[in-house]
Amino acid sequence: MTELKSLANHFLIAMPSMEDPFFSRSLTYICEHNEEGAMGLVVNQPTNMNLKELLEQADKDAEVDDEKGQQIVLAGGPVSQERGFILHSPQPGWSSSLNLTSEIMVTTSKDILSALGNHRGPDQAIITLGYAGWSAGQLEREIQENSWLTIEADPKILFDTPIHQRWELAVSSLGIDVWQIAPEVGHA
């Protein structure tokens, strides 16, 4: 049996041929990947909600800075869309946080939301609702079926690139023209 190469801290880049409407031209950050499956957050699919609107639903008393409140909330995936996940630059002290790398943490507790709304939160953050999940072996099969390209995650693409440019920048960082790739899987 071959050893599983973890894709944690990698991007999944949806191939142009991806037909699933949720994942079409998506860029997904993989938070966890092991023998039991994988969990990731789509980082380029905006919702029609901003941080201020999310806070109004979650915490009626939260104070929100006008500028910070305009941050767009993303659709992190089709699973548990009522749950929030915040990918952010390191800042300890939140109730439910996990260090993913030295540059990226994920927090699922509500306490970080109000801090993000008034400049007390991490310097860089992406707010998502829901997540993408794969059962054991499912992600590996989808990669073999040519649904995804993978590349090591780049915090600059994650935090410094406008939402609508993340997929294309991740593709271009591979050094290929994704539109020239055949949608069929070939085996030599």
Which two three-digit tokens encode residue 15? Answer: 């191939």
The pLDDT of 167-177, averaged and rounded, is 89
Q: What percent of the chain has pLDDT over 70?
A: 90
How many residues are recorded in the chain? 188
How far is C-alpha 9 from the chain's CA centre? 10
Q: Tell me: the pLDDT tens digits for 79-94? A: 999 999 999 999 888 8
Q: Which amino acid is at 110?
A: K
153-187: burial string, b at 16+ Cβ within 10 Å, e else: bbbebbbebeeeebbbbbbeeeeeebeeeeeeeee
Which two three-digit tokens encode residue 166? Answer: 């993340």
pLDDT given at position 3 = 58
pLDDT given at position 77 = 96
Half-sphere exposure of 19 (CA within 13 A, CB side): 2
3-state secondary structure 103-168: CCEEECCCHHHHHHCCCCCCCCEEEEEEEEEEECCHHHHHHHCCCEEEEECCHHHHHHCCHHHHHH
Closest C-alpha among 90, 172, 83 to residue 128: 83
Cβ pair 22, 41 in contact under 8 A: no
